[in-house]
Structure 1
Amino acid sequence: MLYRVEGIVIRSMDYGEGNAIITLCTENAGKVGVLVRGAKKVKSRHAALIQLFTTGEFVFFRNNGGLGTLNAGEITKSHHPLREDLVKAAYASYACELLDRVLHDEETGSFWFRQLTACLNALEEDKEPGIIINVFEMKILQAAGYGPQLDNCIVCGLDKPDEELRVSPRLGGVLCRSCRHNDPPAMEISPRALKLLRLFAALDLTRLGNVDVKEGTRAELKKIMRAFMDHQLGLKLKSQNFLDQLDKYNI
């Protein structure tokens, strides 16, 4: 069957001699793998189509839901500035790998195509990368069924003043003073950071404008969201390891 889809390249790998297999997050066909013959050969007309973050129209044959074979393609946005900047490339790669690892084929669709498009555009537009990724992570957690409970204590369900709350990545939400014994290592959280996490949970990336966040709060959000991702999803991502290296050397 012939498919014509708009998609974003979220993974690209060499296959055989001169070929490549790309994974696309598409607007209307879920997440699909497509074989691109001859893409790695010199002067291949498809060489640019297999680059990470590339958005385009892809035409491919696929039988019985298996691997497709590319017939034609046209780039609508290359996102080459992301690939030319080390930090932007690292964050964009993390977003793509996270989506690829967490969501199954049938779970992707127009919503995730829009979310990833907004994420890549925001990174390219020099918006704060850490905040962009934190919102993206929140959406991933929610889609996977692990969205944190941030409005009420996750144990007793009572609404308490923000100053009394801690956040428990292990339990998946906030804890009031009376319930802290359920998770003694629960993390302290400032009212400002908690307010932003609630904002991240309520909004999606297509509606996120410029958010002015102080450096200390950004660091706090990053630490908390990393803890949520580690406890709730437990993924070992190559792109996350690279981001950790960037942090180590303050890049």
Structure 2
Amino acid sequence: MLYRVKGIVIRSMDYGEGNKIITLCTETHGKIGVMARGAKKLKSRHGAITQPFTYGEFVFYRQNGGLGSLNQGEIIESHFSLRSDLLLAAYASYACELLDRSLHDEEVGTFWFTQLKACLEGLTAGKDQQIVIHLFEIKILQASGYGPSFEACVSCGSLEESTRVSPLLGGRLCQRCRHHDHGAITISPGTLRLLSLFEKMDMRRLGNIEVKETTKEELKKVMRAFMDTQLSLNLKSRHFLDQMEKYEI
């Protein structure tokens, strides 16, 4: 069967002497693997379309739910700047690997695609990389069924003000419920407001916002705890990103 889909290359790996296997996050068919024959060759017509982070329209033949075979492709947005800057490439790779590991094959959901597309666009547009990535992490948690609750107490639903958050229980704890997790993290009111905003915000609505470095450090600590506790994914791209951030500092 012949498919024509819009998708983003979230993984690209060499296969054999001249071929590549790419993994696409598509708008309509979930995550799909496609073989691009000859894509490694210098004059290949598939060379550009199979680059990581590329958003394009892909036409491929696929039979009985196996690996597709790429017939042709048209680039909509190459995201070249994400591949030419090492730090941006690290952030984009983390976003793509995070989605790849969270999304099952052919798990259909336009939400996954739109949020990744907006994430890569935000990085390309020069928005604060750390803010973009932390918002994307929350969207991944929500789409995976582990969305945190920062607006109300995750235990009793109270709207009482509190700055204690529990990665283990999945959100904010009020004063009366803080005993449910003695390992909960105390954060500043500013970080809590930002997390509450992220909980409700779509990636496509993120503008250019300025956040203090102290707030970003606290935000990273909290989101790292939520990601490790709720998803427990060992991602190579995150280890590399950590090293890059240390180098940048």
TM-score range, shorter chain: over 0.9
1:48 matched residue in structure 2: 48
Deviation at 1:11, TM superposition (A): 0.3
Gapped runs of 5+ residues in structure 1? Answer: none
Provide the aligned C-alpha RMSD in A. 1.3
1:131 matched residue in structure 2: 131
Answer yes or no: is the 8 Å Cα contact 1:18–1:40 preserved in 2: yes
Could you tell me which amino acid in structure 2 is paired with residue 203 of structure 1?
Answer: M
Deviation at 1:245, TM superposition (A): 0.8
What is the TM-score with the length of structure 2 in the denominator? Answer: 0.96
Query: CA–CA distance in 1 between the matches of 2:217 and 2:163?
Result: 19
What is the TM-score with the length of structure 1 in the denominator? Answer: 0.95
2:178 matched residue in structure 1: 180
Query: CA–CA distance in 2 between the matches of 1:77 and 1:88?
Result: 16
Could you tell me which amino acid in structure 2 is paired with residue 82 of structure 1?
Answer: L
Aligned residue for 1:194, secondary structure, equals helix
Cα deviation digits, residues 96-154 of structure 1 (max 9, x gap): 11111001234344322221111111101110001101111001000111011212222
Answer yes or no: is the 8 Å Cα contact 2:27–2:109 preserved in 1: yes
Query: CA–CA distance in 1 between the matches of 2:244 and 2:79?
Result: 21
Cα deviation digits, residues 79-112 of structure 1 (max 9, x gap): 1111011111111111111111001234344322
Do residues 10 (structure 1) and 10 (structure 2) align? yes
Answer yes or no: is the 8 Å Cα contact 1:25–1:113 preserved in 2: yes
Query: CA–CA distance in 1 between the matches of 2:68 and 2:41?
Result: 20
Query: CA–CA distance in 1 between the matches of 2:150 and 2:156?
Result: 13
2:200 paired residue among 199, 202, 205: 202
Answer yes or no: is the 8 Å Cα contact 1:30–1:105 preserved in 2: yes
1:85 matched residue in structure 2: 85
1:211 paired residue among 193, 209, 212: 209
Residue correspondence of structure 1 range 117-128 to structure 2 within 5 A: 117-128=117-128
1:59 matched residue in structure 2: 59
Query: CA–CA distance in 2 between the matches of 1:205 and 1:108?
Result: 19
Gapped runs of 5+ residues in structure 2? Answer: none
Aligned residue for 1:71, secondary structure, equals strand
Aligned residue for 1:76, secondary structure, equals strand
Do residues 189 (structure 1) and 181 (structure 2) align? no
Answer yes or no: is the 8 Å Cα contact 1:19–1:37 preserved in 2: yes
Do residues 228 (structure 1) and 196 (structure 2) align? no
Answer yes or no: is the 8 Å Cα contact 1:25–1:109 preserved in 2: no
Q: Greater CA deviation, 228-237 or 48-57?
A: 48-57
Deviation at 1:192, TM superposition (A): 1.1
Query: CA–CA distance in 1 between the matches of 2:248 and 2:82?
Result: 19
Could you tell me which amino acid in structure 2 is paired with residue 187 of structure 1?
Answer: I
Do residues 112 (structure 1) and 112 (structure 2) align? yes
Aligned residue for 2:43, secondary structure, equals coil
Aligned residue for 2:48, secondary structure, equals helix
Answer yes or no: is the 8 Å Cα contact 1:25–1:108 preserved in 2: no
Query: How many pairs align?
Result: 249
Answer yes or no: is the 8 Å Cα contact 2:149–2:199 preserved in 1: no
